[in-house]
Structure 1
Amino acid sequence: MPPPLRVLAIGDLEHDEFSRAVELIEQDAIVELTRHAEASEEPSPFELLVAFQSRPSNIDPTLIDGLRARMPLAGMAVVLGSWCEGEMRTGAPLPHCERVFWYQFAPWWQTVRAAWIENRPAHWQLAPGDDRPITRPASPKLIAIDTADHDSAHALLDACETLGMAGAWSPRHDRRPLTTHASAGVWVGAQLDKVEEQQLASFRQSLPEHTPLVVLLDFPRRDRVERALELGATEVLGKPWRVEQLGAAVLGDVLA
C-alpha cells in the first residue's frame, strides 16, 4: 500500500460549493489546509496542490508561480466556483493549474486517488501527449443512456466503448425496456427544469435500485445539482465532460 498522498490545499476552503471536495481530500490524504501558502526557496513535501477559487482573480497568480518553483514535480489544480465559468474569456486563469469545476471534483479526485493507490503515474506525471490511463471494470458492465440528442448519444456510446463497457440508448420519446439489467445509467439534460425533473425521475425509476446514475447538465448550479441528487443522481457533471471523469463517476464502486 503506498503512503498517503500529501496535498496542500489553499484558497476559499470554507466556500459552500467546495465543502464536498474538502471533505473528500481529508478522507483520503494527508492534507495541510491553509488560506495562504507563502512562497519560499525551501523544498515542498507535497505531491499535489489544490487551490480553491470561488471568484476570478481572488488568488494571486504570483503565489502559484512561487509554489511552482517550490513544487516543480507536483501536480497543480484549481477547483473553480460557479462565478469562474467565464474566466477564460474575461479574466486571467491561474498559471500551471489544471482547471476543475466544483461539480467535477469528485470523479476527478477518484481518478487521482485510483492512480496513486495503484502506483500508476498520475496525469500530471505523464509526458505531454501521453494518454491518461483509463480504468476499466473487471467484469462487463451495461450502461443505460437517456438523452434526446443523437450527438450526445453517439458520444456516450463511444465513451462506453473506450471505458471497456457496453452502452444502450433508446430515444427519450421512444424508450424501450432493456432486456438486461443496467449496471449504471447516464442521463443528459440542460438546466434541469420542471419537465426535465420529471424525465430524470422516470429514468431513475427504470433503473435497478442503488444503480449509479450520472447526470450531465449545462453549467450546473448548486440548486440544480442538489435537485438532481434528490431525484436519484449519484453524480452530476457539467458539459463538456471528460471520458475519464465519466468513467470514475460510473465506476465509483469499482474505484472506491
Structure 2
Amino acid sequence: MNAPSYSYQCDDSVGNKSTVGVLLVGPWKNGEFAEILSPLSMSADWQRTASCEEAAALLQETEFAPELILLACPLPDTYLDADVEQLLLAAPLARLVVVAGTWCEGELRTGTPLSGVLRLYWYEFPGWWTSAINTLGHGGCPPWSQPLDGPHSGRCLDTIQAELTGVVAIDCKLISTFDALAGALGPYKAECHWARRGQFEQLPSQVTAGIWDGGQLEPLELERLRIFAQEICKRGGRVIALLDFPRQEHLAMVRDAGGSAVMGKPYVVEELVSRLLSLQ
C-alpha cells in the first residue's frame, strides 16, 4: 500500500537534525487542520492516510513505525474506541493524539472521550508541537513519551532552558490578568510591561513581542487588537492573541489585524513561552 510521504529537514535550535515519524489520519488537507499543518517546519517523516482502516493497513504492510499518530477529528465521535484499538495493535509503541476541530469544542459537543489517546484542540496543536520540538532539541523527553495519567498528561513539558530576551508588552483589561501572565513568564526572564487597552505611552521604544488577551474578537476587540499590533510593530515586535474558543476565521482576522499567532485559553505556560521564543 502506498501513501503520500512528506519529509521536512530543518536544523533545530541546538544545531542537530532529528526526525520524528508521524502518521496523519483523516482530513488533514481541509479547514482548520490544513491551516495548522502547513507552517510546521520541524523535520519529520509525515505520511497520510484518509481513515483508520487505511492507516492500520499501511502499518501492517510497511516498515513505517511512527512515534505519533495524529487523528484529525472534524466532528464529535468521528473515531471510536475500536479505531484506537486497531491502530494500537498495528503500532503499539506509537502515541495517538486526537486533534479536535472547531465543531468538537464545547460542553455539549465534545464527543465520547476515547481511551488511550491524548486530546488537543486544533489551535493548541501548533504550540504543543513547537514546545515538544524545543524540548527534544535540548535533550528532553517529548510529551508523547509521558504516561496518560492526569488532565494535562502529554502536555507537561520539560522546563525550557532558553530565556525571553527583551520586552514583552501585555495588553489586557485587568491587572490580575497581567500579573498572572507576568508571573508565568518571570522564570524565563521576560521583562513584562502592561499596555492597558490603548495606553502605550509607558512602553519602551523596542519591544520583542506582544500578548493581546481577548475574547472572541467582536468588532471593538478586533479594532483594539489592530491598534495594539500596530504599536508593537512600530517597536519591532510581533503579537500573539490569546482568545476564547478560537475558530478558523479568527486566524485570518488576527493576521489581518497585524497579529502573528493565535492561542486558546487556558494556555500551557511552556507552550506560550515556546511561541514567544519563536517570535524573537
TM-score by length of 2: 0.80
Q: For 2:129, what is the secondary structure of its paired residue?
A: helix
Check the 8 A contact 2:206/2:237 in 1, yes or no. no
Give 2:184's match in structure 1, choosing from 134, 159, 162.
159
Residue 192 (structure 2) pairs with residue 172 (structure 1): no
How many residue pairs match? The answer is 254
In structure 2, give the amino acid aligned to 1:141: G
Give 2:208's match in structure 1, choosing from 163, 170, 183.
183
Change (3 A) 1:253 1:136: farther
Residue 228 (structure 2) pairs with residue 203 (structure 1): yes
Change (3 A) 1:87 1:2: farther
Change (3 A) 1:88 1:113: farther
Counterpart of 2:75? 55
Residue 104 (structure 2) pairs with residue 84 (structure 1): yes
Check the 8 A contact 1:79/1:99 in 2, yes or no. yes
Counterpart of 1:36? 51
Counterpart of 1:21? 36
Q: For 1:229, what is the secondary structure of its paired residue?
A: helix
Residue 255 (structure 2) pairs with residue 235 (structure 1): no
Q: Which runs of 5+ in 2 are unaligned?
A: 1-15
Q: Which runs of 5+ in 1 are unaligned?
A: none
Alignment deviations for residues 212-243 of structure 1 (CA, whole Å, 9 cap, x no partner) = 21001111122222111111111111111111
Counterpart of 1:5? 20
Deviation, 1:247, is 1.1
The equivalences for 1:73-112 within 5 A come to: 73-86=93-106, 91-112=111-132
Comparing 42-51 and 53-62, the one that deviates more: 42-51
Comparing 3-12 and 97-106, the one that deviates more: 97-106
Structure having the larger proportion of residues in helix:
1
Change (3 A) 1:151 1:34: same
Check the 8 A contact 2:198/2:224 in 1, yes or no. no
Counterpart of 1:45? 65
Change (3 A) 1:232 1:22: same
Change (3 A) 1:46 1:102: same
Counterpart of 2:86? 66
Q: For 1:251, what is the secondary structure of its paired residue?
A: helix
Check the 8 A contact 1:44/1:70 in 2, yes or no. no
Alignment deviations for residues 18-70 of structure 1 (CA, whole Å, 9 cap, x no partner) = 11333245863101100123448958611111110000111232111232344
Change (3 A) 1:26 1:137: closer
In structure 2, give the amino acid aligned to 1:163: Y
Deviation, 1:3, is 3.8
The equivalences for 1:240-251 within 5 A come to: 240-251=266-277
TM-score by length of 1: 0.86
Deviation, 1:173, is 5.9
CA RMSD of aligned residues (A): 2.7
Check the 8 A contact 2:132/2:157 in 1, yes or no. no
Give 1:222's match in structure 2, choosing from 248, 253, 256.
248
* Deviating 4+ runs (over 6 angstroms): none
Counterpart of 1:115? 135
Q: 1 CA distance for matches of 2:42 and 2:165?
A: 30
% identical aligned pairs: 28
Alignment deviations for residues 170-215 of structure 1 (CA, whole Å, 9 cap, x no partner) = 4326443323522100001111111112211111122145522100
Q: 2 CA distance for matches of 1:56 and 1:78?
A: 11
Deviation, 1:85, is 0.4
Check the 8 A contact 1:143/1:167 in 2, yes or no. yes
